[in-house]
Structure formats: structure tokens, C-alpha cells
Amino acid sequence: MTSIANKQLFEEHYGSLCHFAWKLCGDLTQSEDFVQDAFISYFNNQEHVSVNQVAIKNYLYTSVRYAFLNSKRKEKVVEKYWLATPFNESSQDSFELNIIHSEVVAEVHRIVESMPPGCQVVFRMGYFEGLSNQEISKELNISVNTVKTQKQRGMKLVMQKMNPEFLPIVIFLETLFSR
């Protein structure tokens, strides 16, 4: 891979890998370190990894997971007892759910970035910050109906642009948050 392709690969996967790592360890700085280590490992060994995008993605996620697990093993040596961690090594389901969640979150953030500014602000406040329509209305000095319209418009854009494999998850989340 060329350095341009490596840069593009990094930009494409960095956010979702950081979110995945954060879901594992709960620490942003440590998450970024795990992701950086995963990319360094990939760049040093890329001739041994298939050029298939799925294989590369699997390699990166697995590297992040192993970086996390190795850090936990090191903590165990430093500390006398290893307390419960937010990730259960034996739980493959948890691992896969964290990957899916990270991918969905990254996809939604990419879509939100492409929204018109007014719609983007209302969508972020309503869905990411959890503010009510009335709170958004007060803070932005707009009507509640405008808030509702902008949220609906934003959700419509998410539904239109979302990768089809994530749509069932988004529909579930939308019904959960629209109550």
C-alpha cells in the first residue's frame, strides 16, 4: 500500500477503532494508544495481511483487542490481583457487539457531519446530548416545532445515507429515543 492509501485507511478507521477501544477500557488516551499500536503493527506487517478490506479491518480490530488484553495482563503483574474488567475475554458476543456499535456510531457521526448546520446542531443536541425539544428550543431561541422538524429532517438524512446493514439498529435506536 502506498502512503496515501495508508493515510486514507487510517482516516477511515481511526474513529471507529478508538470508539471500540474506549468501549473496552473506558479511557480515551489509552484507547488512542491501542489504536496507534494497531496501525503501527499493520503498517509493519501489511505484506502478510490480505489486501481485502475486510481482512484489514479484522486485523485492526483484533490488534486493538489484543493491545487491550495485553495491557490488562501487564496490570495484573503490577497489581497483586486483577479486578473485574469491563471486557470479558471469553465473551465473543460482547466483542462483536462492541465492533458493531462502534461502526454504527462512526457511520452516524459521518452522516451528521454532512448535515446542514442548523439541522446538525439540533440533531446533536437532541440525540447525542439528550436534550428535550423544549431545552433545545430555549437554548437556540427557536420554536419547538422547528426543533421537531430539524430532528425529523436529520433522522431522515441518517436513514437515507446509512449503510443498509446498520439500518435495523438505527431504526431500533430511533424508536428508543423518540419516546
How many domains are there within the chain? 2
Is 20 inside a domain boundary?
Answer: yes
d(CA 71, CA 158): 36
C-alpha to C-alpha distances, 40 to 14, 37, 72, 150, 152, nearest whole angstrom: 12, 5, 20, 42, 41
pLDDT digits 0-9 by tens, 98-108:
777 788 788 88
Pick from 47, 70, 86: which residue ends a domain?
A: 86
d(CA 136, CA 147): 7
Q: Are residues 80 and 129 in the same domain?
A: no
On the question of pLDDT at 44 being above 70, the answer is yes
Pick from 86, 102, 126: which residue ends a domain?
A: 86
Q: Which domain holds residue 162?
A: 114-177
Is 100 inside a domain boundary?
Answer: no
Residue 109 is classified by DSSP as H
Q: According to the model, what pLDDT value does residue 84 have? A: 43
- Among 167, 143, 144, smallest CA distance to 155 is for 167
Q: Are residues 53 and 120 in the same domain?
A: no
d(CA 70, CA 77): 11
pLDDT digits 0-9 by tens, 119-176:
999 988 888 888 899 999 998 999 999 999 999 998 888 888 877 776 676 666 656 5
25-29, 75-79, 114-118, 165-169, range with the lowest pLDDT: 75-79
Q: Are residues 141 and 70 in the same domain?
A: no
Q: Are residues 73 and 17 in the same domain?
A: yes
Q: According to the model, what pLDDT value does residue 176 have? A: 59
Cα atoms in the Cβ-side hemisphere of radius 13 Å centred on 150: 24
The answer to whether residues 30 and 71 touch, using CB atoms and an 8 Å cutoff, is yes
For residue 62, what is the domain's CATH number?
1.10.1740
Is 165 inside a domain boundary?
Answer: yes
The answer to whether residues 152 and 174 touch, using CB atoms and an 8 Å cutoff, is no
User: What's the pTM value of the predicted model, to 2 decimals?
Assistant: 0.49
